[in-house]
């Protein structure tokens, strides 16, 4: 007992800082889990569909789970498995994987300045968990707190990963017992979460215009059955936002200039009046 006393005192010097740090990290992790929860709920039906479809197209249970464990990309997995089910050769499967995943190139570009200088392991972990959902939440966090938080981002990504794999497992176990699951319109769950994420983010005209431009162009391109509709309309939306941001900032500086001019003129006239 007596011998442990100095040890405690020694620990005490460093303990408060460490404890504070740990508590900070812990609350960030919890925050990440909580914020990801609604998105996890919405993805459950998709995960189940992915698992059962994998079994239905003839993958082994292990292969079906491996898809979610390693590929970890819902839309790419579903498209790939539908092609496998049709007896497609490998190349179309891989090219569809690339087309669907290409939007992730943009996500990695968006976070480049925050992540590129981290150690290799941290970069690999961040990239592995970088899904649409983690991208959206991390963006929202940056918008709210004006800073990037690695711990928060990865924690939310891991929460989503765990849920996605559990849902896949349920689908694998259910396997052929789930018939025509797609007819239930499961995609709507994804639409609902994305609406819930996008609408509150519309805070100014440039963002609104980017949403409008991307939404209108994706409808047109989808109706034309353009293969790259998603990525093309994303770019259209981005350019629209950029254009209107430039335009409004030009307008702002113009009004500031004209106001400054007016003020200068009024000062001059006042001076003239006082001179008289």
Partner 1 sequence: MSNDLLIVLMTAITFSCRYLFFMKSLPISLSPRVQQLLQYTAPSVLTAMWVPIVFLGHKTEGASFFHSPFLYAGLITVLASLKIKNTLTVVVVGMGSFLILNWVL
Residues 87-116 interacting with partner 1 (rule: CB under 8 A):
89-90, 93-94, 97-98, 101-113, 115-116
Pick the binder of partner 1 from 173, 181, 230, 248 (CB under 8 A).
Answer: 230
Compute CA distances 180 → 49, 175, 269, whole Å. 9, 11, 80
> What minimum distance in Å lies between the beta carbon of 15 and partner 1?
35
Other Cβ atoms within 10 Å of 110 Cβ, number: 15
Compute CA distances 88 → 76, 85, 176, whole Å. 15, 7, 21
> What minimum distance in Å lies between the beta carbon of 152 and partner 1?
15
* Residue 182 binds partner 1 (CB under 8 A): yes
Distance, CA of 101 to CA of 95 (rounded, Å): 10
Residues 131-150 close enough to bind partner 1 by CB under 8 A: 132, 135-136, 139
Pick the binder of partner 1 from 28, 49, 50, 76 (CB under 8 A).
Answer: 76
Answer whether 108's CB lies under 8 Å from 127's CB: yes
Stretch that binds partner 1, among 7-15, 161-169, 184-192, 250-258 (CB under 8 A): 184-192
* Residue 172 binds partner 1 (CB under 8 A): no
> What minimum distance in Å lies between the beta carbon of 24 and partner 1?
23
Pick the binder of partner 1 from 50, 130, 154, 155 (CB under 8 A).
Answer: 130
Q: What single-letter DSSP state applies at residue 147?
A: S
Q: Which is nearer to partner 1, 27 or 188 (CB)?
A: 188
Answer whether 81's CB lies under 8 Å from 53's CB: yes
Other Cβ atoms within 10 Å of 63 Cβ, number: 12
Residues 231-250 close enough to bind partner 1 by CB under 8 A: 233-242, 245
* Residue 18 binds partner 1 (CB under 8 A): no
**Count of residues that bind partner 1 according to CB under 8 A:** 95
Q: Which is nearer to partner 1, 27 or 98 (CB)?
A: 98
Compute CA distances 183 → 172, 187, 188, 231, whole Å. 18, 10, 11, 26
Answer whether 82's CB lies under 8 Å from 54's CB: no
Alpha helices in the chain (DSSP H): 4-56, 61-66, 74-85, 90-101, 103-110, 112-115, 120-128, 132-145, 150-174, 187-198, 205-223, 229-275
Pick the binder of partner 1 from 33, 61, 128, 165 (CB under 8 A).
Answer: 128
Q: Which is nearer to partner 1, 192 or 260 (CB)?
A: 192
Q: Which is nearer to partner 1, 25 or 103 (CB)?
A: 103
Q: Which is nearer to partner 1, 87 or 268 (CB)?
A: 87
């Amino acid at each position: 007992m007596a011998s442990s006393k100095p040890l405690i005192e020694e620990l005490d010097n460093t303990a408060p800082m460490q404890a504070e740090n740990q508590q900070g990290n812990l609350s960030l992790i919890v925050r990440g889990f909580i914020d990801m929860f609604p998105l996890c709920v919405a993805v459950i039906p998709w995960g189940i569909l992915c698992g059962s479809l994998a079994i239905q197209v003839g993958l082994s249970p292990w292969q079906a789970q491996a898809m979610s464990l390693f590929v970890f990309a819902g839309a790419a997995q579903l498209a790939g498995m539908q092609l496998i089910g049709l007896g497609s050769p490998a190349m179309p499967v891989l090219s569809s994987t690339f087309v669907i995943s290409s939007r992730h190139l943009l996500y990695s570009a968006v976070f480049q300045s925050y992540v590129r200088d981290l150690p290799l392991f941290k970069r690999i972990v961040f990239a592995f968990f970088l899904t649409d959902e983690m991208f959206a939440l991390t963006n929202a966090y940056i918008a709210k707190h004006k800073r990037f938080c690695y711990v928060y981002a990865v924690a939310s990504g891991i929460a989503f990963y765990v849920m996605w794999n559990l849902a896949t497992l349920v689908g694998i176990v259910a396997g052929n017992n789930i018939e025509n699951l797609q007819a239930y319109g499961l995609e709507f769950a994804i639409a609902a979460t994305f609406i819930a994420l996008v609408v509150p983010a519309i805070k100014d005209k440039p963002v609104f215009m980017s949403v409008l431009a991307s939404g209108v162009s994706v409808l047109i391109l989808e109706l034309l059955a353009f293969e790259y509709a998603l990525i093309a309309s994303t770019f259209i939306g981005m350019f629209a936002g950029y254009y209107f941001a430039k335009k409004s900032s030009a307008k702002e500086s113009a009004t500031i200039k004209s106001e400054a001019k007016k003020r200068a003129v009024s000062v001059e006239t006042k001076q003239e009046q006082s001179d008289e």
